[in-house]
Structure 1
Amino acid sequence: MRRQWILAAALAFAQLGFAQSDLELAEFYYNEGSYAQAKLYLDQIWKRTKTKKIFDMYYDVLLAMDDFDAAEKLVKSRMRKKNTRATAYVELGQLYVHFEREVEAKEAFDEALLRLEPKRGSVIALANAFIKLNELDLALEVYTKGLASGVEDLDYQLADLEGRRGNYEGMIDASLRLMRAKPQYFKNVQNSFNRNLRIQDNPELGDLLRTKLLRAAREFPEDTGLSEMLVWYFNQVNDFVNAFVHAKSLDLRFRESGERLIELAQTATRNEDYATAAKCYAYVASKGRENAYFFTARTQALNMQLQPLLKTTPVDREAIRTLAQDYEFTLNDLGLAKETAKIAQDLAHIRAFYLQQPNEAIDLLEEVLNVQGLYERTAALCKLELGDILVFQDEIWDASLLFSQVELDYKDDVLGAEAKFRNARISYYTGDFDWAQTQLDALKASTSKLISNDAIDLSLLITDNYALDTIVEPMWLFSQADLLVTQYRYEEARLKLDSIVTTWPGHALTDEILMERAAMCLEQGELDSAKHWLQEVIDLHFDDILADDAIFQLALILDEAESDSDGAAALYEQLLFDYPGSLHAVEARRRYRAIRGDELTE
């Protein structure tokens, strides 16, 4: 008896070994594309082992060999084991589609629809089977039939399907139903809109979404998710005015502290909508001193008035003078404290650089630095500001001392990089170009993109006009003129620049001199002269590194100061095509599209 058991076991293991060997050979020939050889093994294996893995391999082999009869027999044999499942008929229909038997395929798909069970799982499974075959209309028919039979909770799947079908109206409708029924799907819906609609590139779809959202919000005013989605939508299309209306409504409804308005203000600021940002901050400030964002809001409300003035060409000094009075009123109202130090810092900047009151500015900053409990970073920022004013006052070594303090205190911080750059610039102003270059080399790897770009620009200026030139005096005169420009001593600066041109005609600094002249003219409101110098850079120095700067600056004058949209657009386009790697390319493209209202093909 024991011998019989051992013999039976050995025989079973041998059969298993043969079966395993047959499967390995079948897989080998299948992977090699030798389908006829693979079929020889699979014919036998399928009789013994009817797993999904074997079915899929066998089915693929029969399709590859165009053996319709065997493939149909295989699919139908499997259907007998699950003849109540509608998805089996989708598999059969797929076979008929492959062999271009459209009538039989339609019959199989119709049978699948007839066998659909009124259960959510069955509806989704059948729809997914059709989606896998890219039979999207049939998948929609499945969902329609499922809904008609009382199946619920299909909006997520419907929204996805309608997006695939390109029926964006249906997708939006299903998505909004889903969001109302299941608020936790808010982010999913938002991501779906982003992925499928791309409203920034497809304004007509953006209009459709806006209409649907507004209609739904009116129909379901108690649904705050719709208001949230409207805020998101208006942010996407940079309509911050309407975003403010809905964000404020949500803030009032939920009795919030204004955080969403602060976030909206920051987004609006990044997009240079300072007016709406100011409204956001003013609203938050109206909540009173007890609010956590009160001082931030009061500070930024003023800053939102200052920023557009500083970007104006030329600067409207009368408007800045009026704004300075608002700063003074606010500072008197709130008092000088650690929370209002930024207001004082901005006021000092205005006084020093726009109202010609540097001594008053220095006094104010020194007063700020003595405020009890002043935040360390705020103190560092005030030291940088004070140093800039001391440079303006020609007290550059006192300024350097302040910059060195900040650099030492914030070695691995953007503030330290700011301070280091300022010290490098002082070395440049004083003619110590080698030391300036050493400091600038260290800054090229700075964590701040802005600082790195400034460092690179100054480094290139020194490298191109000092390191490669045996005559040092032109560079020394230019750096002195640069300092004089910083100090608004324009006539003295012009004399030094003129001396370079007269003594060393055709020097490599010529394009920099032209740009410096243009900058001075802009500061003094002499737009025609500024345009003349910039055009000279464009015409005569088109292959120098400042050519794209000149084009962009000239475009800004036409765009903002003279409202010459066509002229500005032509220059933006020239910059994009002739200097695609320019640092101004992104902003030029944005402004070009804003003027033309269309896409730019590169």
Structure 2
Amino acid sequence: MRLFSSIIAFLFGFTLWSQSYQLGENYFDQGEFEKAQAVFEKLVAQNSRDLRSVQKLVATYQELEKYKLAEDLLLQQNKPKVIYPNLLVSLGHNYQLQDKNEAAQEAFQSAIESVSKNQGYAYSVGRMFQQYALLDWAIKTYEEALKQRANSSFTIELARIYGEKGNLDKMFGSYLDLLVDQPNYLFAVKRNFSDFINEDANNPANKKLQQAILAKNQEKPMLVFNELLSWLYVQQNDFQKAFAQEKALYLRSQKDNIQGFLNLAQQAKDSAYATSQEILNYVIAQEDQIYRILQAEYLKLELNMNRAEPEVTAQLFNQVFEKYQSLPLQDWFDIHLLYADFLLKTKSYAEAKAKLDKLNQLNLDKFAAGQVKMRLGDVAVKTDKYNQALIYYSQVQLDLPNSALAEEATFKIAKTSFYQGDFEWALRQLNVLKTATSKFIANDALQLSVLINTNSNAVLDTTFTALKRFAKADLLAFQEKPNEALALLAKILQEHVGEEIEDDALFKKASLLENLSKFEKAIATYKSILNLTEKSIYIDESLYALARIYELELKDKNKAKAYYEKLLFEHEDSIYFNEARQKYRKLRGDLIK
């Protein structure tokens, strides 16, 4: 009972202290320093070792230019048997405010000497120097602490300060020293380096970093430095040099891991497609573990599907099937599933269904079986067998509840119902997806829901003519019949001018034109959406699409940057915000995150 009473008393006292401290802070922030002084003096009188209140009272005295009171308070805290070195920094700063520079230097030096005796004081002293923007003294603090023994926290603080001061050589050196002792800090180090380097290999910071890594790797060869060099070359889009570093990593680690190669091939696929293929061919030739070889084969086929002519990709698939025909089908299931995707893409629906039916007969886990059934559903929709499609999608829902694949299946049920003109059932499915874990599924569900709700007003259109036409055009697009879809969209845009369906039809038209590589027409259509209304749910997507076309297809960086900028400033809630910010910064040439 006595213990319980003590706890209650402590909590009550802490609550009162918090309320008083917050009141004092509010007065301070509002510039009412006399009132803040009264509050903090009372708190310090109640507990002279309450350093937060002491420091706040010192700051209040300084705002009121009551430097003597601040000095007396700070001196009272540091007595022979009780030392607070960080308050010596505050004392020195107080002297600086009075232009007593000699006294300030003595106080600062005393704080440093405390650190030389006890490394444990380094962080509080260093942070206090940083708080007062006394960066040179903060550097001395951490350097003094590191003389005693290595400490990753101090090395990181030291590197950050060097960066703030623009001393790139020392900053890079400090971070590289950190990696010698703590290679697991590589991700954090890359993130910090990103603030200083860009895609220009001739940028002074890039050059300094490359030289620093090469020198450190020569002094103390470590895999982490090859990995860091590879990362730097990727930022500079020099994928051949990155490939050389990945090979060095691979060979020095006794061929322990191919993930670096796979990641690099993915990163190189757009601007250095030939290099991405060279990387994967190297893995296939060098590896002796079949599952790794198949990983590389899969990625090579996937990249070819998106870049090469269908005949070339088909030939590659046949070569792979012949090479590994002795393997059990289940061991390279992913490649066979990818082949089914290729057959779907090339409208070989009968072959796709035959392949998927064969895969469906295997003893698959639920997730793999779900992937097969999703594609069987897609084949059914593409061949106008909607009820069969709904059965497949529903099976995935039941077999994998609460999974991302189940959410996708739910969305496809909604889309299939939408294609059939069953808008009420489609809306019921879409309502389930309001809390979908995938932001893209949630966004697509929201767009379709808004489309149906805004275009199914029985007062305006009892037959839902425009909505049914749009659903048919959407289906034709899914069935890889873009020209038929565009013809129907043109009819909608001609006969339903000024109706809610107009921006939906324009966006679908623009997307189809973009997929057909008719970029100028796509641009004109996306711009029509921007000019049509500011309330369209497609504004941010149109801005993002315009930026991407100008950046990747037309190579007009200035126009791309302008559209990314408009998206960033006017649509902070867009799902494309983070990606647009990254690309905008890269185009502007300042940061690469």
How high is the TM-score relative to the length of structure 2? 0.73
Paired with 2:447 and 2:82, the residues of 1 have a C-alpha distance of: 73
Counterpart residue number, 1:286: 285
| Shift, 1:375, TM fit | 4.0
Counterpart residue number, 1:513: 505
Cα deviation 1:445-479 (Å, max 9, x = unaligned): 22222222221121111111114644322222221
Q: Please tell me whether residue 429 in structure 1 is matched to residue 426 in structure 2.
A: no
| Shift, 1:358, TM fit | 1.9
| Shift, 1:553, TM fit | 3.6
Counterpart residue number, 1:226: 225
Paired with 1:87 and 1:422, the residues of 2 have a C-alpha distance of: 62
Q: Please tell me whether residue 101 in structure 1 is matched to residue 100 in structure 2.
A: yes
Partner-residue secondary structure (3-state), 1:286: helix
Partner-residue secondary structure (3-state), 1:227: helix
Cα deviation 1:515-570 (Å, max 9, x = unaligned): 34444444555555444444443434554333444444444444444444444444
Counterpart residue number, 2:352: 361
Counterpart residue number, 1:17: none
Tell me which amino acid in the other structure corresponds to 1:345: L
Which of the residues 344, 351, 355 maps onto 2:343? Answer: 351
Which of the residues 321, 327, 334 maps onto 2:324? Answer: 334
Q: Please tell me whether residue 474 in structure 1 is matched to residue 471 in structure 2.
A: no
Mean Cα deviation higher: 162-171 or 392-401 = 162-171
Residues 266/69 of structure 1: CA separation in 2 closer, same or farther (3 Å cut): same
Tell me which amino acid in the other structure corresponds to 2:504: E
Paired with 2:184 and 2:260, the residues of 1 have a C-alpha distance of: 20
Partner-residue secondary structure (3-state), 1:411: coil
How high is the TM-score relative to the length of structure 1? 0.72
Residues 97/509 of structure 1: CA separation in 2 closer, same or farther (3 Å cut): closer
| Shift, 1:443, TM fit | 1.6
Which of the residues 536, 551, 560 maps onto 1:544? Answer: 536
Residues 69/240 of structure 1: CA separation in 2 closer, same or farther (3 Å cut): same
Conservation of the 8 A alpha-carbon contact between 1:158 and 1:171: no
Paired with 1:523 and 1:175, the residues of 2 have a C-alpha distance of: 45
User: In terms of Rg, which structure is larger?
Assistant: 1
| Shift, 1:304, TM fit | 2.5
Residues 579/321 of structure 1: CA separation in 2 closer, same or farther (3 Å cut): farther
Count of residues paired in the alignment = 545
Q: Please tell me whether residue 400 in structure 1 is matched to residue 399 in structure 2.
A: no
Mean Cα deviation higher: 236-245 or 539-548 = 236-245
Q: Please tell me whether residue 411 in structure 1 is matched to residue 401 in structure 2.
A: yes
Paired with 1:93 and 1:491, the residues of 2 have a C-alpha distance of: 77
Counterpart residue number, 2:196: 199
Paired with 2:505 and 2:282, the residues of 1 have a C-alpha distance of: 47
Residues 78/454 of structure 1: CA separation in 2 closer, same or farther (3 Å cut): closer
Cα deviation 1:470-512 (Å, max 9, x = unaligned): 4322222221232223224456545544554565444322233
Paired with 1:322 and 1:284, the residues of 2 have a C-alpha distance of: 21
Cα deviation 1:204-234 (Å, max 9, x = unaligned): 54543332112222343x3334334434555
| Shift, 1:385, TM fit | 1.5
Partner-residue secondary structure (3-state), 1:544: coil
Paired with 1:218 and 1:515, the residues of 2 have a C-alpha distance of: 55
Counterpart residue number, 1:484: 476
Mean Cα deviation higher: 123-132 or 393-402 = 123-132
Tell me which amino acid in the other structure corresponds to 1:258: N
Paired with 1:337 and 1:388, the residues of 2 have a C-alpha distance of: 22
Paired with 2:400 and 2:86, the residues of 1 have a C-alpha distance of: 66
Tell me which amino acid in the other structure corresponds to 2:303: M
Paired with 2:267 and 2:432, the residues of 1 have a C-alpha distance of: 34
Q: Report % sequence identity.
A: 25
Residues 111/255 of structure 1: CA separation in 2 closer, same or farther (3 Å cut): closer
Paired with 2:191 and 2:563, the residues of 1 have a C-alpha distance of: 33
Tell me which amino acid in the other structure corresponds to 1:360: E
Paired with 2:87 and 2:36, the residues of 1 have a C-alpha distance of: 29
Tell me which amino acid in the other structure corresponds to 2:367: R
Cα deviation 1:323-357 (Å, max 9, x = unaligned): 12112211222136123222222222223332x42
| Shift, 1:362, TM fit | 1.9
| Shift, 1:429, TM fit | 0.8
Counterpart residue number, 1:212: 212
Counterpart residue number, 2:305: 306
Mean Cα deviation higher: 588-597 or 360-369 = 588-597
Paired with 2:74 and 2:316, the residues of 1 have a C-alpha distance of: 85
Q: Where does the alignment leave 5 or more consecutive residues of structure 2 unmatched?
A: 1-19, 22-34
Aligned residue runs from structure 1 range 378-389, under 5 A: 378-389=368-379
Partner-residue secondary structure (3-state), 2:456: helix
Q: Where does the alignment leave 5 or more consecutive residues of structure 1 unmatched?
A: 1-26, 46-50, 310-317
Q: Please tell me whether residue 171 in structure 1 is matched to residue 163 in structure 2.
A: no
Paired with 2:95 and 2:585, the residues of 1 have a C-alpha distance of: 51
Conservation of the 8 A alpha-carbon contact between 1:328 and 1:347: no
Paired with 1:465 and 1:78, the residues of 2 have a C-alpha distance of: 75
Aligned residue runs from structure 1 range 563-574, under 5 A: 563-574=555-566
Structure having greater relative contact order (Cα 8 Å, sep ≥ 6): 2
Paired with 2:341 and 2:40, the residues of 1 have a C-alpha distance of: 84
Conservation of the 8 A alpha-carbon contact between 1:538 and 1:550: yes
Residues 91/463 of structure 1: CA separation in 2 closer, same or farther (3 Å cut): closer
Paired with 1:349 and 1:69, the residues of 2 have a C-alpha distance of: 77
Conservation of the 8 A alpha-carbon contact between 1:257 and 1:293: no
Cα deviation 1:151-176 (Å, max 9, x = unaligned): 77589746634633524422333443
Residues 430/86 of structure 1: CA separation in 2 closer, same or farther (3 Å cut): closer
Paired with 1:290 and 1:551, the residues of 2 have a C-alpha distance of: 46
Tell me which amino acid in the other structure corresponds to 1:417: E
| Shift, 1:403, TM fit | 1.6
Conservation of the 8 A alpha-carbon contact between 1:265 and 1:276: no
Partner-residue secondary structure (3-state), 1:293: helix
Residues 386/554 of structure 1: CA separation in 2 closer, same or farther (3 Å cut): same
Counterpart residue number, 1:456: 446
Cα RMSD for the two superposed structures = 5.0
| Shift, 1:273, TM fit | 7.3
Conservation of the 8 A alpha-carbon contact between 2:510 and 2:521: yes
Conservation of the 8 A alpha-carbon contact between 2:85 and 2:125: no
Q: Please tell me whether residue 254 in structure 1 is matched to residue 253 in structure 2.
A: yes
Counterpart residue number, 1:9: none
Tell me which amino acid in the other structure corresponds to 2:453: T
Partner-residue secondary structure (3-state), 1:426: helix
Partner-residue secondary structure (3-state), 1:384: helix
Paired with 1:551 and 1:37, the residues of 2 have a C-alpha distance of: 56
Residues 470/97 of structure 1: CA separation in 2 closer, same or farther (3 Å cut): same
Tell me which amino acid in the other structure corresponds to 1:387: G
Conservation of the 8 A alpha-carbon contact between 1:257 and 1:291: no
